[in-house]
Structure 1
Amino acid sequence: MQTYVALLYSIILGEGRRVVMSDLKAMAEGLGLKNVRTLVATGNLVFESGKTSIATLEKRLESAFERAFGRHVDIIVRSAGDWLKLAASNPFPAESVDAGDQVAVRVMRKAVAEDAISELRTRAAEDEKVHLVGGDIWVAFSRERPSSRLLAAANHKRLGVGTSRNWNTIRKLAEMVAT
């Protein structure tokens, strides 16, 4: 058995309806996934499965989600080893200690090209930073501004399928898969 992390792009089903993590866990268990755990109520799963391709796991989870909850949601899957590598590659360690909620990574299904990061950097505020590491987009957001132009610029249409998690969540998921 191998351990995996799955990240849902959205857990909003419609006005006033969110996916309940116990229902998400039950859905994953219904696929035969083992030792299924969730982290916070934002669509993070850790589970074990026989070794299979990431694409196959993503398709199985997305299909099951649509059957269970009535709408399609993109789901990004990484192996435990790849998740630990992602967490270890944080280009903003000092910022992460000071403000883990202001450092995030957009975990991508397909690696983002370097030229896309150049475009994002033009939208960053003076006190924001953007780095591409292993095809994923790391951002250190401004502590001074309540919103960032980077969020709108890093969307599916421009960069492809991906979903963002802050450093606190990244670190906790790494702890879950390391045990």
Structure 2
Amino acid sequence: MPDTLTTYVILLRAIGPATHRLMRMAQWQEAAEQAGFVAAETLGNTGNMIAGYRGTEAKAREAMIAVLRGFGLGENVVPVLRSPAALRKLVEADPVRDAAESRPAQTGVYFFATPRPDFGWLDHYEGPEAIHVVQNHLVVDFSRDVAQSGRLIRLIDKHCGLNTARNWNTVRKLAERCGDRGKV
């Protein structure tokens, strides 16, 4: 139903210092609201937003892409949308509890643009990282500096397609914020 206000968690791919020169988070929030997103709020400085939208997920994605292009951001900056319920289920699964508590910067959740990424390659992957599949996400305990896991990151990109990653604490905070909004 297009008239129903649905809450989306919007995670931007390829956001960093270079893109912040073109679009600050406050500007993104304002532009999103001008494009029809309701009660847009950002979390952190790395392209995380929670906002309502009257329309399907596909329409919300299209509207967000238009917002991003309006700032002159390239096609590599892509919104990946999730429902608050999907984030809640991910957090409830809690596959990296110990790692998230003791070394949150060494945990990652990969969100994919495609609804069914190929995880078959994981059967043959041998690496030091502990990898968990939760719904259509990869939750990774890197167990060391993430920069040392370049091989795994390249394999995720190659086999699973367009993605963006957040550490476990960010995912947890986004889920909490969604709950605070009463939309979970």
TM-score normalised over the length of structure 2: 0.83
Question: Cα distance 1:20–1:145, how it changes in 2: closer, same or farther (>3 A)?
Answer: closer
Does structure 2 retain, via aligned residues, the 8 Å contact 1:13–1:69?
A: no
* Matched AA of 1:7: L
One-letter code aligned to 2:140: V
| Alignment correspondent of 1:62 | 65
Report the more deviating stretch, 162-171 or 85-94: 85-94
- One of 30, 33, 40 as aligned partner of 1:29: 33
Match of 1:132 in 2: 133
| CA deviation after TM superposition for structure 1 residue 162, in Å | 1.4
Name the aligned partner's letter for residue 142 of structure 1: S
Alignment of 1:73-152 (within 5 A): 73-110=77-114, 111-119=116-124, 121-122=125-126, 124-125=127-128, 128-143=129-144, 146-148=147-149, 149-152=151-154
Q: Unaligned stretches of 5+ in structure 1?
A: none
Pairwise CA RMSD of aligned residues? 2.2
Q: In 1, distance between residues paired with 2:67 and 2:17?
A: 14
Q: Please state how far the C-alpha of 1:59 moved relative to its aligned partner.
A: 1.9
Deviation of residue 70 (structure 1)? 3.9
Larger mean CA deviation between 64-73 and 164-173 belongs to 64-73
Structure 2 residue 80 is matched with structure 1 residue 71: no
Structure 1 CA distance, aligned partners of 2:16 and 2:131?
Answer: 27
Equivalent pairs: percent with the same residue? Answer: 28
Residues 11 and 18 of structure 1 are in contact (CA less than 8 Å); yes or no, is this contact kept in structure 2?
A: no
Other structure's SS at 1:40 match? coil
Helix, strand or coil at the partner of 2:148: coil
Structure 2 SS opposite 1:154: helix
Q: Distance in 1 between matches of 2:82 and 2:159?
A: 22
Tell me by how many angstroms 1:15 deviates. Answer: 8.2
For 1:66 and 1:162, the matched residues in 2 are separated by 19
Structure 1 counterpart of 2:44: 40
Aligned residues: 173
Q: Distance in 2 between matches of 1:49 and 1:144?
A: 37
TM score, norm. by length of structure 1: 0.86
